[in-house]
Amino acid sequence: MRKLIAGNWKMNGSLAANQALVQALRAGVGTPACEVLVCPPAAYLAQLQQLLAGCDAIALGAQDVSEQAGGAYTGNVSAAMLAEFGVRYAIVGHSERRQYQGESDLLVARKAQQALAAGITPIVCVGETLVEREQGLTGFIVQRQLSAAIAVNAARLAEIVVAYEPVWAIGTGQTATPEQAQQVHALLRAQLAAADATAARQVRLLYGGSMNAANAQALLAQPDIDGGLIGGAALKAPDFLTIIGAAA
């Protein structure tokens, strides 16, 4: 299984900063052993489409997608619109959207469904808060979140990507140990296998809790970690390139 390293830029960037970052990535990425993805804010998708033109080594992704195909949904961006900009992946259900926009498990599952219908691979995010982990609820929370995506997208389960992002390790400087991350990834793999054993072997599981240049190699060496959903380190070309190299 080819690993996937996805950079989530979150609400960061500018026309000038984006150009400098992409130029540095294009200059340093070479022919990577893994698949590489960058997900800028929606406002910059057109710019990134141009900056990545002719670059087969780096794919373009979106940070969100509407659960609706179109219509009177002011501010939403449909999967079909994203596809017109060459978007190949879309993050759905990131913990920040679950927290700040109140996104439910079912809503996230429907967003994944819309992405798949437009030929876009959804990256379905799951993860627990610190309080939930301390209460021993990690397994219950991540399996509940994933179960909705499985139920809604059962026929196309093999086509999704799942990202485990412990909320307590996002932007805090903390990270799960490789063993802690592997334990949850193995749990998610077993849940997928119970739904569709063949699909479970094809679905890539990404770790998304503050993976960085220093810890990437140890995390990516775990048997059920098939890549990373990278936050802050994705905004620094040397760090992101180091993580890409670790995926080899």
**Active site annotation includes 185:** no
**Active site annotation includes 67:** no
Tell me the C-alpha distance between 128 and 159, whole Å. 24
H or E segment at 92?
strand 89-92
Catalytic one of 35, 94, 96, 185: 94
Q: Tell whether residue 210 is among the known ligand binding residues.
A: yes
Side-chain-side CA neighbours of residue 202 (13 Å): 11
Q: Tell whether residue 12 is among the known ligand binding residues.
A: no
Catalytic one of 67, 96, 128, 165: 165
Q: β-pairing, 161-164 with 204-207?
A: parallel
Q: Tell whether residue 75 is among the known ligand binding residues.
A: no
3-state secondary structure of 55: coil
Tell me the C-alpha distance between 181 and 166, whole Å. 9
Question: Would you say 61 and 39 are in contact if contact means Cβ atoms under 8 Å apart?
Answer: yes
Q: Tell whether residue 168 is among the known ligand binding residues.
A: no
Q: Which residues define the annotated binding site for substrate?
A: 8-10, 171, 210, 231-232
Instruction: Please give the positions annotated as active site.
Output: 94, 165
Name the binding residues: 8-10, 171, 210, 231-232
